[in-house]
Structure 1
Amino acid sequence: MSLPPGFIDDLRTRLSISDVVGRKVMWDSRKSNQGKGDFWAPCPFHQEKSASFHVDDRKGFYYCFGCHAKGDAISFVRETENVSFMEAVQILAGEAGMPMPAQDPRAQEKTDRRTLLADVMEQAVQWHRLQLKTGAAAEARDYLERRGLSEEAQARWDIGFAPDRGGILAQLTGKGVDKSLVLEAGLAAESDRGGAPYDRFRGRIIFPIRDARGRAIGLGGRAMAADARAKYLNSPETPLFDKGRSLYNHGPAREAAGKGQPLIVAEGYMDVIALSEAGFTSCVAPLGTAITEDQLRMMWRIAPEPIIALDGDTAGLRAAMRVIDIALPLLEAGQSLRFALMPEGMDPDDLIKQKGASAMQALLDQAIPMVQLLWRRETEGKVFDSPERKAGLDKALREKIKLIQDPSIRSHYGEAIKEMRWGLFRPKKAQYVPGKRQAFTKGDPWRNQMSPVASNKSSALGAGAAKTEHLREAVILATLIATPAVIVTFEAQVERMDCFDPDHALLRDAILRHAEAEDVKAAIFDEIGADPLEKLFSQTHVKISPAVRRAGDIEVASMCLGEELGKLAAKRGHDRELRDGMEEMLGHVDESLTWRLSQAAKSIDTSVRQETDDTADYVKVENGSMLNKDERSAFGKLLENMQNARPGKGTGS
């Protein structure tokens, strides 16, 4: 509905904002100067004892110096009553004695018809309410008592009963209500066989459905007969009632949410009633359908982050999963959903009755963000043991994230998904622990020649090799931070890179988590602090690296990473060969093992020659391969012990 020019201005001039606000606050007489239209009070929007809430009656505005809430009389009513703009205007217009602008004749005719239908519906609600006290409703009363609803609670919710015979059609037409109104309100229906109209609700407990303003717009009926075609039946679509644009308990939930209660979304009438009676008064339910876009928007007008608390059975979980697909394109900053997962086979009503309101509160406190349920839906019960399956997961998640319209939210979802993906696929570090395998006993002659592969002090080939690996790790990490655009290209190799330095491992994980952040270095700083970054970039070999000096140059960074990651992978592959050979040596010392070790030495020689042209510190071993002095010392001991381990020599086989 559009308002004519000047209507809002006229409304504001007729109202004193101090009168509107004064209904909700207590003025501070010491600070206020009513003669000058200057009013002060404790703020109604946040808890405080001092009077920081200021109302300027002459300008028609309010402002809180504590929480910074501000606005005019209309916005004050909207915030405190939790109503829409037009509803706030209607409330204030009524107080000011101003009639709302007339609509065109056709619109006015529709409004008048809707008013008649609402009156018919209210008569039906009250008549069904009276029927609950009759003898025909004894079974219905027993059912409600078993469900824990007292007579007072039944009265609060206007619960009624529709008898099998002599129903609402005869009652209303007998009182002079036009039959067409009863049919149009959805209380009765025409027979398909051309007979007389019949009551739509028969032999059912009746739950009135009201709109946000409290008007009866439809009915919900729970069948008492076990063989009924539908356990629950709602009113059909009428000029008053639209299932996809209505919520059960809308008005009271909106009022409670305006007072700070979280909005809970349950599945049915009894869940809402049970929650409300247990103190969770801000709760609603969709009406016999899956949650629609319109219902989501209505929920977000009530509260920015509703909690979906559907049943803990398969159907309830499927419904929760469907909500995700509807909600993703509608997400906005500060507007989302959380999910309270009920125990399997239970709904909120069951949980409260069996374990009390505290158990329900605990579940609400543990409600998870929507991104976590999205991850659970795409990963639960699935095995990702191949590159193809992992790629399939990535594709499915990317398609879902693309649905988000807000670029900021889309970016944050990407980061959250990447972090969970990293937790799922993070490579398990295979660390060698001396003495762990049975072949390496306390008296093992090889034990003193071996160090843990995860140690940053020395490897089986000496401290020099470990130092070289440490330098390579540092250059790789610094290059990724200096030129984040290359992270995606080398992501898989970086994920597989074991870091011997704990700071390097910390940086590697942070780089992968924040690969899509606008400022990767700043995001890493926020997560792990300055020390690891300062330590990394203060190293001389990092400072002089071309990829770091030319930060942002994708070509240079790609060449550097390709070379360093390749050499690091080759070196560690050689180490694994030697380590595996030494583990087997005690029981399998033969020519094939000697050949295997010599081949490892040749591979090391090739790697070393690629790293430097300076061979002054390198010497030949028996097979002609080149090792530096530290490596030769360790390798010589290895060969000597291998010879001593032959059958008939030293320790024997």
Structure 2
Amino acid sequence: MSLPDGFLDELRTRLSIAQVVGRKVIWDPRKSNQGKGDMWAPCPFHQEKSASFHVDDQKGYYYCFGCHAKGDAISFVRETENVGFMEAVQILAGEAGMPMPQRDPEAQKKADRRTQLADVMEQAVQFFRLSLKTGPASEARDYLVGRGFNDTSLERWEIGFAPDGWQNLWDHLTAKGVSPDMMMDCGLAKPSSKGGKPYDTFRNRIMFPIRDGLGRAIAFGGRAMDPNDNAKYLNSPETVLFDKGRNLYNQKPAREAAGKGGDLIVAEGYMDVIALSEAGFGATVAPLGTAITEDQLRLMWRIAREPIIALDGDTAGMRAAMRVIDTALPMLEAGQSVRFALMPEGMDPDDLVKGQGPGAMQALLDQAIPMVQLLWRRETEGKVFDSPERKAALDKALRAKIQEIKDPSIRSHYGEEIKSLRWELFRQNRGGTAKSTYQPRGKWQPQGVPMASTKASVLGAGAAAEDHLRESVILATLISNPAILGQFESALERMICASSEHEAIRHALLRHVGDQPEVLRGNLVGELGPDTLEKLMSQSHVAITPAVRRAGDTEIAAACVAEELDKLGAKRGHAREIADAVEDLSGIADEGVTWRLSQAANAINGTGRGAQEDKTEFETGENGAKMKKDERSKFDALLDQIGFGKGDA
């Protein structure tokens, strides 16, 4: 079976080879750089312990420095699944959501025709370039010089000119033997509605060739010289060669520049791309007259894992940014997102670079804001939240957007970030009207970390000590029972640690999720040093914890970690509620404050149960885990030691 020309290119564009390979290997977190698509793992084709198998997600290939296996996503599936070429293509096409083409005996003829159409497009590129040097193009040349072009940049970008007239290109290509239907299929000519000869699509316009990822000319963009023209910019119609929603202007050069370490910048138009590239930002692309599509986002992520959307500083630019958010949210993955660099009001990237220089543009790129902050800005900027109903409406709108995120880990992190932003907004406006005055945030105070005044109190010190004990048990249990580490990965990511030592251990555990039990502790010692782990494991309340003493019993370990995480999270949540209510007491005391304090107290009483109730639950456990009587007596002693006597909160 022959595949249509372009089918395999489209398949490779839609797929991430790192995702395809990632199902068969465990990435080495020390060597891999997910943000750049530079991934390393032990080779799946031969037995080894070191990570010599390299995947370049941006270029779409793999190579093993040990056994020298190499190829792309298709060859990887062929080798690992032991299937033929067409079967591998079919497997990957199913993952990419692409229907397999039907058997087509004319496929070769179609492929030949695409090649012929591309040849016609190259002839058109040359015609337009030559036309720019003629007398009728003098006004166009003056315009280009005024925009900063010189002979070198005109050649580099292959800028041309479509003369004013109905059949200039038509007559030129006809004289070279190009058939009328080929010109029509290329989108270079249109049929006459009056029954006359077809006429040129582009007339009296500066011409920008549009090339695909392989460098083939597939379309044109034309800038009108007549100020009264209805369309200032005009793109080729969609053809066999050109699908405007699946291509990007300057795609191939931008991919090469991004591969050398440049940030991928997404601008709005041709002139922005050219201005930025000439100023040193070579990894710049633009959509082709449409809002950014899902396919274009996939293309961007193949080039760079976190492209920066640089939009004009006007209302239209902001609307375009908001459309990007709606398109991108369901597609987010770990290490794969977008950031936004918003231009000063009334300026585009071309204006900024030429008016203030490349340094001003670089400063905006360095301050590019994450998508979650722009989402918050859209839902809050200029709005007043002076009633419970308006606050509830905000919560509902944000929840609906966050639910669109398919990746549960990213969805959780978005939720936490939105909580922080919401907390800050309403905390700053206590006693008055909550009106959003959005500004990009710096480093936020982590949730659950007590204020300085609270830390200084006896209550704060006791709370911190209790938190430290619970964190120690959680971390030690996970180290002793690495088989359950993946089960609690998301919860561990969200856990705020009370000390820098615990924070370091938490980060190290997250980096080694998936390690074999026999190598986990060695990796942790290598990163943290032997003293850190010895200090953690030698604490008396850790040493007598059943889940640590009986390492390998995953039932007890899972029950212990779940219990401690639940209590830790609930306690910190109640502490925030009380802090809120206490702060409100500085204003006018009313029934609302009293009710909030009572609710917080009831919740604490419900969570901080007596020692006997705690013992009974831990003995049976919600998941059926059991604890022996002699172990339970030692656990009772632990409860007494940390102050959880009967009736204590």
CA contact (8 A) 1:206 1:222 kept: yes
**1:225 to 2:226 alignment:** yes
Quote the Cα distance in structure 2 between the aligned partners of 1:121 and 1:132. 17
Contact 1:517/1:523 (8 A) holds in 2: no
Q: Give the SS at the match of 2:219.
A: strand
Structure 1 residues 567, 305: CA separation in 2 closer, same or farther (over 3 Å shift)? closer
- Corresponding letter in the other structure for 1:120: V
Question: Offset of 1:62 from its aligned partner?
Answer: 14
> After superposition, what is the alpha-carbon deviation per residue over 1:432-471, rounded to whole angstroms, capped at 9, x for unaligned?
xxxxxxxxxxxxxxxxxxxxxx9999xxxxxxxx99xx75
Report if the CA contact (8 A) 2:54-2:64 is conserved. no
Give 1:524 deviation, angstroms: 3.7
Structure 1 residues 563 and 288: alpha-carbon distance in aligned structure 2, compared to 1, 3 A threshold: closer
**1:76 Cα deviation after fit:** 5.3
| Deviations 1:165-219, CA, capped at 9 Å, x for gaps | 2421111012211011001100000022332211110000000000111111001
Q: What CA distance in whole angstroms lies between the structure 2 residues aligned with 1:571 and 1:71?
A: 53
Alpha-carbon separation, structure 2, partners of 1:527 and 1:229: 63
> Within 2, Cα distance between the matches of 1:208 and 1:571?
63
TM-score by length of 2: 0.58
Q: Which residue pairs with 1:496 in the alignment?
A: none
Q: 2:496 aligns with which of 513, 518, 523?
A: 523
2-side partners of 1:285 and 1:78: how far apart?
Answer: 35
Q: Which residue of 1 aligns with 2:329?
A: 328
Q: Check conservation: 2:162, 2:202, Cα contact below 8 A.
A: yes
Q: 2:48 aligned with 1:75, yes or no?
A: no
Contact preservation (8 Å) 1:313, 1:346: yes
Q: 1:568 to 1:223 in 2, by over 3 A?
A: closer
TM-score by length of 1: 0.57
Count of residue pairs brought into register by the alignment: 436
Aligned to 2:272: 271
Q: Check if 1:126 corresponds to 2:102.
A: no
Asked if the contact 1:78/1:85 (under 8 Å) is kept, the reply is no
- How far apart, in 2, do the equivalents of 1:256 and 1:559 lie? 50
Going from structure 1 to structure 2, the CA distance change for 1:84 and 1:127 (only over 3 Å counts) comes to: farther
Q: Which residue type is aligned with residue 137 of structure 2?
A: A
CA deviation vs aligned residue, 1:328-367 (integer Å, no higher than 9, x gap) = 0011111110111111111111111001111111111111
1:111 aligned partner: 111
Alpha-carbon contact 1:62-1:70 (below 8 Å) kept: no
Q: What CA distance in whole angstroms lies between the structure 1 residues aligned with 2:274 and 2:580?
A: 64
Question: 1:475: how far off?
Answer: 7.7
Number of the residue aligned with 2:139:
139
Change (3 A) 1:341 1:76: same
Tell me the distance in 2 between the aligned counterparts of 1:214 and 1:553: 54
Counterpart AA for 1:202: R
Code of the aligned partner of 1:518: A
CA contact (8 A) 1:482 1:551 kept: no
Distance 2:267 2:576 in 1: 56
Equivalent position amino acid for 2:265 in 1: I
Secondary structure of the structure 2 residue equivalent to 1:525: coil
Q: Is the 8 A contact 1:132 1:140 kept in 2?
A: yes
Deviation at 1:257, TM superposition (A): 1.3
Could you tell me how far apart the structure 2 residues matched to 1:294 and 1:262 are? 20
CA distance in 2, matches of 1:311, 1:390: 31
CA contact (8 A) 2:409 2:490 kept: no
CA distance in 2, matches of 1:259, 1:118: 29
275-284 or 59-68, which moves further after superposition?
59-68
Taking the aligned partners of 1:307 and 1:427, their CA distance within structure 2 comes to: 30
Measured in 2, the distance between the counterparts of 1:248 and 1:255 equals 14
Asked whether the 8 Å contact 1:78–1:84 carries over to 2, the reply is no
Q: How does 1:279-290 map to 2 (within 5 A)?
A: 279-290=280-291
Give distance in 1, aligned partners of 2:374 and 2:273. 23
Give 1:525 deviation, angstroms. 2.9
Aligned partner of 2:549 in structure 1 is none
Check conservation: 1:265, 1:309, Cα contact below 8 A.
yes
Specify the alignment match of 2:182 in structure 1: 181
Q: Alpha-carbon deviations, 1:375-433, whole Å to 9, x = none?
A: 11111111112111111111111111100011111111111111111111126689xxx
Alignment of 1:18-33 (within 5 A): none
Change (3 A) 1:560 1:278: closer
Q: Which residue is 1:426 aligned to?
A: 427
Residue 159 of structure 1 deviates from its aligned partner by 0.5
Residue 215 of structure 1 aligns with an amino acid whose one-letter code is: R
Match for 1:310: what amino acid?
L
1:64 touches 1:70 (CA, 8 Å); kept in 2?
no
Alignment correspondent of 1:167: 168
The residue aligned with 1:256 is: 257
Letter in 1 for 2:138: A
Change (3 A) 1:307 1:224: same
Equivalent AA in structure 2 for residue 211 of structure 1: D
Contact 1:54/1:62 (CA < 8 Å) preserved in 2?
Answer: no
Matches within 5 A, 1:291-306: 291-306=292-307
Say which SS state the counterpart of residue 343 (structure 2) adopts.
Answer: coil
3-state SS of paired residue (1:218): strand
CA separation of 1:576 and 1:248: change in aligned 2, threshold 3 A: closer
Match of 2:106, SS state, is helix
Task: Label 1:265 to 1:558 Cα distance change in 2 as closer, same or farther (>3 A).
Answer: closer
Tell whether the 8 Å contact from 2:340 to 2:371 is kept in structure 1 after alignment: yes
| In structure 2, distance between residues paired with 1:246 and 1:54 | 32
Distance across 2 between alignment mates of 1:310 and 1:367: 11
Change (3 A) 1:150 1:76: farther
**SS, match of residue 217 in structure 1:** strand
Separation (CA, whole Å) in 2 of partners of 1:254 and 1:62: 34
Displacement after TM superposition at 1:273 (Å): 0.6
Q: Whole-Å Cα distance in 2 between the matches of residues 561 and 318 of structure 1?
A: 37
Give me the CA root mean square deviation: 5.1
Whose RCO is larger (CA < 8 A, sep 6+)?
2
Distance 2:290 2:114 in 1: 24
Once the two structures are TM-superposed, the CA of residue 261 in structure 1 deviates from its matched residue by 1.2
2:213 maps to 212
Judging changes above 3 Å, is the alpha-carbon distance between structure 1 residues 571 and 248 closer, same or farther for their aligned structure 2 residues? closer
Pair 1:191 & 2:164 matched: no
Contact 2:41–2:52 (Cα < 8 Å) also in 1: no
The aligned counterpart of 1:396 is: 397
Cα distance, 1:164 vs structure 2: 1.0
Alignment of 1:438-517 (within 5 A): none
The DSSP-based 3-state class of the residue aligned with 1:207 is: strand
Query: 1-side partners of 2:296 and 2:259: how far apart?
Result: 18
Amino acid at match of 1:75: Y
The alpha-carbon distance between structure 1 residues 260 and 163, as it changes in their structure 2 partners (threshold 3 A), is same
The gaps in structure 2 that reach 5 residues or longer are 4-30, 35-39, 66-70, 78-88, 90-102, 432-451, 472-488, 504-539, 541-561, 591-600, 606-649
Quick check: 1:203 aligned with 2:204?
Answer: yes
Letter in 1 for 2:272: D
Q: Which letter does structure 2 place at the counterpart of 1:384?
A: F
Partner amino acid, structure 2, of 1:235: S
SS of match in other structure, 1:291: coil
Q: Secondary structure at the match of 2:342?
A: coil
* Structure with larger Rg: 1
- Which digits, 9 at most, give the CA deviation of each residue in 1:52-90, with x for residues without a partner? x9999xx999999799746999835899xxx9757999x
Identity %: 59
Task: Note the C-alpha offset of 1:316.
Answer: 0.9
Change (3 A) 1:561 1:164: closer
Determine the C-alpha separation between the residues in 2 that align with 1:263 and 1:250. Answer: 10
Give the unaligned 5+ runs of structure 1: 4-42, 47-52, 90-100, 431-453, 458-465, 484-515, 531-537, 539-549, 581-606, 612-653
Q: Residues 364 and 477 from structure 1, CA distance in 2 versus in 1: closer, same or farther, beyond 3 angstroms?
A: same
Q: For residue 373 of structure 1, what is the aligned residue in structure 2?
A: 374
Aligned to 2:235: 234
The answer to whether the 8 A contact 2:210-2:250 is kept is yes
